[in-house]
Structure formats: structure tokens, C-alpha cells
Amino acid sequence: PDATYLTLSHRWSQGPVCKLVMDNLPDFRKDIPIRDLSITFQDAIEATNSLGFEYIWIDSLCIIQDSTHDWAAEVTQMAQIYENAACNLSATA
């Protein structure tokens, strides 16, 4: 792996979720406003920083959710993404 990172395993909520889609891809490449993220994602980012890491991989923010092409490409990599992470954070709520 090029960088040391954490991953987040989480349950998708029933309500609105901040996620990567084609429409917001250009904006997300520049910045993802933390205030727009769920508390679970905010807590995971805080834990990542507290543990001394700079990067976290969260599926809904790293895979383009409305792109079948991106999903098809990324789903084959997910096991390796989790396997190569320094640590997997698991959110139960």
C-alpha cells in the first residue's frame, strides 16, 4: 500500500447519508466538509487522527455510489483494502 490508513466498517443508516456520487465528485476531490458527515463518520475521523493516522477509507465516501462502473471495479478490491489497513474501526450504531 502507498499509505498507512484505517478503514471503517459501519451500518448504513436509513436516513440521508453524505456519500460520494457523480454530482459531488469534483467537490469531494477538493474537500469533504466534516459538518456534512454523520456522527459515526465524524467519530471515525476523530479516532483516526487520535491514533496518529492521516487517512481513513469509508466505502460510501471512497466508492462512487451511483456508478455501476466504479462499484464493479471497487468491489473486487474491498477485501484487499480492509486487509491492508493498519486497523479497522467498527461502528455498531
Provide the grid cell at 70: 466504479
Query: What is the span of the domain harbouring residue 67?
Result: 5-10+19-90
Sheet of 5-9, strands arranged across? 55-57, 5-9, 87-90
Name the residue with higher pLDDT: 15 or 77: 77
The span from the CA of 13 to the CA of 10, in Å, is 9
Could you give the number of structural domains in the chain? Answer: 1
The structure's pTM equals: 0.86
**Range 45-78 burial, b when 16+ CB lie within 10 A, else e:** bebbeeeebeebbbbbbbbbeeeeebeeeeeeee
Section 28-42 average pLDDT:
91
Average pLDDT over residues 52-57: 95
> Cβ(60)–Cβ(31) under 8 Å?
no
